[in-house]
Structure formats: structure tokens, C-alpha cells
Chain A
Amino acid sequence: MNGVKDTILSVDRLTVRFDASPPLLKRLVTGAGRRTVHAVEEVEFEVARGSTFALVGESGCGKSTIARAIAGIQRPSGGSVSFMGVDIAGFRTRHAAMPYRRNLQMIFQDPYASLNPRWRVGRIIAEPILTHGLMTRGAALTARVAELLETVGLSPGDTAKFPHQFSGGQRQRISIARALAANPAFVVCDEPTSALDVSVQAQILNLMRRLQRERGLTYLLISHNLAVVAHMADDMGVMYLGRLVEQGDAGQILGRPLHPYTRLLLDTVPDPRAPKRDRARLAGEVPSPLAPPTGCAFHPRCPLANARCARERPLPIRVEAALVACHAVEEGRLPSRPPAAQQSFATSGDAA
């Protein structure tokens, strides 16, 4: 992992804030002030070409907002996103952004909302090709659409059907075919399987991995499902309340989590292969991003928090293949993990 990485995407101090103020008239009447949602705060990470980088966290942690900022449908409030060496904020016109848009596509969570219900499948898949002028209408385009459908495991005869004639899993396949149509290098996958049944999820995850192998695709995977992340990711970032609390090699983070939030999150996931195990609980709820806590955002729920955590925001420090933002880690206050986790700690420690 220490070789020179071919970085395809680099995110630098990305910040996204939303204005959630009441309307002007109401502010004047009630004296209420402006309110800002701190959706994403100074997030930094890099994605290597051909790998999968996963962002995990609970709802409202800002992971989908990052996906949208990278996909160019959410304007950042600060920081920059650089894709293939070009800062995407620098595009002044739609035309200038076209090469970047051709190389970056997105798969959405809800297969029922991500396909235009009034369009036939053939038209849906052909749209990116026509938009980027890669082909004109004709036999070659028809053949290309048919080929894409076969690539994702559907039949070329499906082009004339409407989305509602397909099941959720099949629709997600259509979404993937559309995302691949313009031959992109990078695909943003925003919860691609969380609306699907597990057996269908397995089909889609296997398909995504096969396509990555065959085409050298890079994925940014947004998911709340740690098992899916474990299965797909090379590197990962754990988000809490708009910030990355831990990032790095997925194997290390899942096997030997350092940040208390990552540890509790991993403990919380129900595992059908280990029924009714004893586990630590994550108490309380995520605070409102309208008024994030001072210091470390996790300190009100953290079993290891002290006065410094409430006061001072921790900066990321490197621990082997991961970056962790936690005072307890820095100060060596971190307790060891229960036996099962301890074991994997030992093995990876030996390897390192």
C-alpha cells in the first residue's frame, strides 16, 4: 500500500454548508437568527485509480453530500475537488465540464426514482452517449445499447420496455448500464444496494466487482452498510457529523478500528453469523448538524471523552495505514478491544 498511488480524485478541505434560515420576514418578526447546516466540514481524502473508496456513516453524516459535490450537482462552500488533475470548480461553462462529466457517472439508491418513468430503457441508456456526442442515432448506437444491456445481465430485447416493467434489481442494472454508457473512469455509487433485497444485493455487488475488474473502474461507494463496505472497499472513510473521523485501508479499519465511533459502529452491526453476541452499544443519537458540538463532534456520546475532547477539535494523526482524528488515540488512552477483535488486531499487527 505504500507504493506511489495513481490518484484519480483528490478532495481537499471540502466544506458544504446549507442555509436553513427561516424566511426573512419570519426572522424579522420573531428575531430568529440565520441558521447554517454544517453538512460537510473540511473533508480530505484521495482515491486511487482502479480502487474502491467507501464512505460510511449514519444518516445525516454528510456522505451523500460529498458524493453530490464530487458528481458536480452540489456546489461546495469551500475547499476543492480535483478530478484527473483538474479542479472541477474551475469550469465556467457547461461545455468546459463535458469531458469531466463523461468520465464521472453516478448510480443512485432508489432504483424506482433514478430512471425517468416516461422513457424507454433504450433511450435512457443512449442518453449519455448522445449527450456527449460519442455516437449518432443509428444501427451502431442500437448495437451499443444492446451490448450494454448484455453486460449488465439484461436482454437486448429490453430496450423497448419502460422502467416500471422491471423489478428493483433489474432497474439497478439499467442504472449501471446507463452509468457505463459513456465509458467513464469513475463511478459514484450512492447506496447502490440499500433499497434491494439481500439476494439481489449480492447479484448487484458481484456485477459491480466484475465490471471494476474488466474495465478498471474506480468507485466511490457511499453506504451505511458495513458488511457491503467490507466486501467492496479497498480504502474507506468513516464519517461523523460532517467530518471524517477515521480513514485509510479498509482491512485495517474493519479489523482493528481505532476511533471510538468506528469501534462502536462495528459493534452495533447485527451479524446473522454471530447471533445474540454481547456487544457494546452506541448510546444517544447524532446531534443536529445545525449546532454541532464543540471540540470533537463525537465527545457527547464517546465513552473516552474528557475535558480536552469537549474543547479542542482533534487533528488527524497517522497510525499505520489509517488517519484517525481522536485525542484518546493520540494520548494512548485507547483500551484494547474484546477477544474476537483482539485476535484480528494481533494478526494484522504481525503483518504490519
Chain B
Amino acid sequence: MSLIALRHALGGFWESDLAYRFRRSPVAILAALVGLALLVAAMGAPVLAPYDAFDPAAANAADARLPPASEGMFGDYYTLGTDPQGRDMLSAMLYGLRTSLVVGLASVAAAALAGVLLGLMAGYFGGVLDAFIMRAADVQLSFPAILIALLIDGVARTAMPAALHAELAVPILIAAIAASFWVQYARTVRGLVLVERGRDYVLAAKVTGVSTPRILLSHILPNVLGPVLVIATINLALAILTESTLSFLGVGLPSTQPSLGSLVRIGNEFVFSGDWWISALPGLLLVLLSLSVNIFGDWLRDALNPKLAS
């Protein structure tokens, strides 16, 4: 698409301050391009991957632990080598990237949804509801996020049959990560709502007789979303890393469902036998992903901060 056409498609947004700053920041553009490329690669995994990483039949035990750029027993070519089960590393990484991104995006979305709603109510209604929500948040903050995720996963594991748990592994993981991240949204939104609810446009809506849910959702919510977007972006990298850490610790996803974290764990046993690629390549991809998301998030935070605007 030509630049002119892009410009036309974006309409007013192209002229906005945010778009202007973005165009002037090579770092942000690079980070966004890398992140976008990874997203496309992950979502296109079933098409792009040479082999199906979820299909045990596609793995050939005889081709286990082959280094990058080698040929398998039956003429298969492995660009990035194979893992201990003989799976193609490139395919496994693409599917792993997809799992990591899905878990990351879904858990951030769930955390943001819960946190924003709780924050809106706490900030707008105040009183007992506010005290209850914010004390719950305080309690939650006194635990490390990973511990809460571990706890939820542990409870789910003991409460469910193993087969069911394996089936529900992804939703459970998403819930576990979301549960440890909602606090930040709730606190931020509450603080913003405390300011917004006293502003004249909210009072004007009250004078007119607009209902409280409408005031909250169509007046106040759009005005507190900017900072939420920034937190969500920065949290995305954190959520992906949390998923990887959990998977690395073996409490995340089963090894039949590769994620970047579980790939690193699998390779971890073989690092000292010289098979570096099984751990290092998914690890590098993880770094690239979280770095691009983080850099973009940092830029977004600065760009939306009026105090830093020149």
C-alpha cells in the first residue's frame, strides 16, 4: 500500500499528534514492525510452518536433536534443527509463538476488562465498594504475581482430572495470569475516575438525567482508556514472560502444546550436551518479542504523556 493510500485510509488519525510522533520515531516504528511481523508469523503458523507441531505423527524420533540446517533420515529438511522428540524447531517455535501470544493477549484483555470495570465502580461509587475493591487489590499486591499464578494452577491441577486439566490448560493459564495483573488497571482507572467524575461534562450529563451506567461507560470510560492502553502494552510483554516462566517451571502448558517457555524448558536439559539451539532459539524469539512490545509500550507512554510533549 502506498504511503498516500495509507494516509487516506487513516484519515484524521494521520494528522493527530500521536501519529505524528510515531512517524518521527524510528525506534517506535522498528518495534512496531517487529511486533507486527511476529504477530503475523504466529497467527499464520498453520500455513507458514513446514510441519504440524501438534501432530505427534509428524515428529520422527530418529531425527531427534538435529542441529540447524540439517537433513533428516527421510529427507526432511530442518532449517533450525529439531528438538528431543524430533519435532522441527522452526515449526515448534512458530506454534509456540502463537500459544505465547494468544495466552499473553487473552490474559491482558481479561485483566484489563476486570480491572477497568472494578476501577470504574470503585472510583465512581466510592464508599464501602471502593474500600472493598481496593483492599482486595492491596492484599493481591502483597503477593508476587507469579505466586498467584502458581497457586491458581496448583488448585486447578488438584481439583481436576489430569485429562480435563490438560484440555483446559490454556484457559486456566490465562485466568491465572489475568488474576495477577488486574490490580494495576483497577488502581490506575480508579485514580483517573476520581478526577473525571468531578469534571463538568460528567456533571452536565447528571443534570440532564443520564443514567449512571451510561455516564460510566459512554462518558467516563473513553476518557480513561489512554493510560489503560499503555499499561496493557507494557503488561503484554510481562504476561508473555509470565506464561513462559510458568511453562518453564512445568506448571504451565503440557509439552504437547508447545509454547516458547516450554520449548526453552525442554532444551534446558540438553544445553550442556552441546545442543544449544533447542533452548537458545526459542529464548531469542522470546527476547525479541518482549523487547519489541516493551519498546513500543515505552514509546506509547511517553507519547501520551502531555508533560513530555515538546
B210 touches A178 (CB 8 A): no
Per the 8 Å Cβ criterion, residues 102-125 of A in contact with B are: 102, 104-106, 108-110, 113-119
Q: Do A118 and B209 touch (CB < 8 A)?
A: no
Complex Cα distance A105/B203, Å?
A: 11
What's the Cα separation between A117 and B226 when bound, in Å?
A: 13
Does A87 count as interface, using CB distance less than 8 angstroms?
no
In-complex Cβ contact of A73 among B206, B211, B222 (8 A):
B206
- Chain B CB within 8 A of A333 CB: no
> Looking at the complex, which one of B201, B203, B209, B222 makes contact with A101 (CB distance below 8 Å)?
B209
Give Cα A147 to B218, complex, Å.
25
A116-B206 contact given A108-B200, A110-B200, CB 8 Å threshold: no
Judge whether A118 and B222 touch: CB under 8 Å.
Answer: yes
The one of A104, A114, A131 that contacts B200, using a Cβ cutoff of 8 Å:
A114
Let me know if B209 and A106 touch, CB within 8 A: no
A-B contacts counted at CB < 8 A amount to 60
With A118-B223, A178-B204 as given contacts, are A113 and B209 in contact (CB-CB < 8 Å)? no
When each residue 182-212 of chain A gets 1 if its CB lies under 8 Å from chain B and 0 otherwise, what string results? 1000001000000000000000000000000
Contact A132 B209 (CB under 8 A): yes
Is A98 among interface residues, defined by CB-CB distance under 8 A?
Answer: yes
B205 part of interface (Cβ distance < 8 Å): yes
Considering the complex, give the chain A residue whose CB is closest to the CB of B226: A118
A128 close to B (CB within 8 Å): yes
Q: How many Å lie between the Cα of A73 and that of B207 in the bound state?
A: 7
Q: Does A72 contact B (CB under 8 A)?
A: yes
| Complex interface: chain B residues within 8 A of A280 (CB) | none
Partner among B199, B203, B208, B223 whose Cβ is within 8 Å of the Cβ of A182: B208
Q: How far is the CA of A175 from the CA of B201 in the complex (A)?
A: 10
The interface on chain A, measured as residues whose beta carbon lies within 8 A of the other chain's beta carbons, has a size of: 30
Interface status of B301 (Cβ within 8 A of chain A): no
How many Å from the CB of B195 to the closest CB on chain A? 11
Alpha-carbon gap, A219 to B223, bound state (A): 31
Q: Is the CB of A101 within 8 A of B204?
A: no
Closest to B208 in A: A128
Find out whether the CB atom of A106 lies under 8 angstroms from the CB atom of B204: yes
Contact of A102 among B199, B200, B209, B222 (CB under 8 A): B209
| CB <8 Å contact, B208 and A127 | yes
Choose one: B207, B211, B222; the contact of A106 (CB below 8 Å): B207
Whether B210 contacts A127 by the Cβ 8 Å rule is: yes
Interface status of A94 (Cβ within 8 A of chain B): yes
Q: Is A71 engaged at the interface, CB distance under 8 Å to the other chain?
A: yes
Q: Is the CB of B208 within 8 A of A105?
A: yes
The answer on a CB contact under 8 Å between A108 and B208 is no
CA gap between A227 and B205 in the complex, in Å: 30
Residues of chain B within 8 A of A127, CB atoms compared: 205, 208, 210
Known: A94-B209, A113-B201. 17 other contacts (CB 8 A): A71-B203, A73-B206, A97-B209, A106-B203, A106-B207, A108-B203, A114-B199, A114-B203, A115-B201, A116-B205, A116-B223, A118-B222, A118-B223, A127-B205, A127-B208, A131-B210, A132-B208
Q: Can you name 7 A-B residue pairings with CB atoms under 8 Å? A: A101-B207, A104-B207, A108-B203, A110-B200, A114-B204, A132-B208, A178-B204
Chain B residues in contact with chain A, CB under 8 A? 199-201, 203-211, 219, 222-223
8 tightest A-B contacts by CB? Answer: A101-B209, A114-B200, A118-B222, A108-B200, A113-B200, A116-B201, A106-B207, A128-B208
